[in-house]
Homo-oligomer: A and B are copies of this chain.
């Protein structure tokens, strides 16, 4: 295993581990429980689920894998806070989207070669990337994994 492979494994192991923990929590909750708040007055489970789908869907374009599958989720789950949108998609439809998205995304992630992870992501310019080589594709997964951990800690509070 060379240095690039080692670093890629460090980051992807965390990504897959946190996704697995989130899915275990998600599968343990009923659709009705997803309507509960993580804490009084705070976000509901269904909002966190939709938020994570929308943020991970946006990784497809940032990693140069293609186009987002569900751009319509950006408005209710990223631009808007919870309870600002009258009707959110159903829990059943979000569960299906979660599975479809991560099947596609992880298929692409697992097929990328180690050296490709250190290429620039699509949002940084070539000029900036030359000065800031840490703004690479692997760092997209790194930062999104920490974002997922943050919301996983909240999601498991749902009762």
A contact residues vs B (CB 8 Å cutoff): 1, 3-4, 6-7, 9-11, 13-14, 18, 38-42, 118, 133-134, 136, 138-139, 142-143, 145-147, 149-154, 157, 159
Check B39 against A157 for contact (C-beta < 8 Å): yes
Q: Are B138 and A38 in contact (CB under 8 A)?
A: no
Task: Report the bound CA distance from A142 to B145 in whole Å.
Answer: 10
Oligomer: number of copies: 2
How far, in Å, is A13 (CB) from chain B's closest CB? 7
Inter-chain CA distance A31–B105, complex, in Å, is 44
Contact among B13, B142, B143, B154 for A134, CB-based, below 8 A: B13
Let me know if B39 and A6 touch, CB within 8 A: no
Interface pairs (14), CB distance under 8 Å: A3-B4, A3-B7, A3-B118, A6-B134, A9-B134, A10-B134, A10-B136, A38-B157, A39-B40, A40-B40, A146-B149, A147-B149, A150-B152, A153-B153
Could you tell me the distance between the alpha carbons of A14 and B147 in the complex, rounded to whole angstroms?
11
> What residues on B are CB-neighbors of A153 within 8 Å?
149-154
Considering the chains assembled together, what is the distance between the CA atoms of A7 and B151 in angstroms? 25
Q: B residues within 8 A CB of A7? A: 3, 7, 134
Flag if B6 contacts A118 (CB, 8 Å).
yes
**Minimum Cβ distance to chain B for residue A137 (Å):** 11
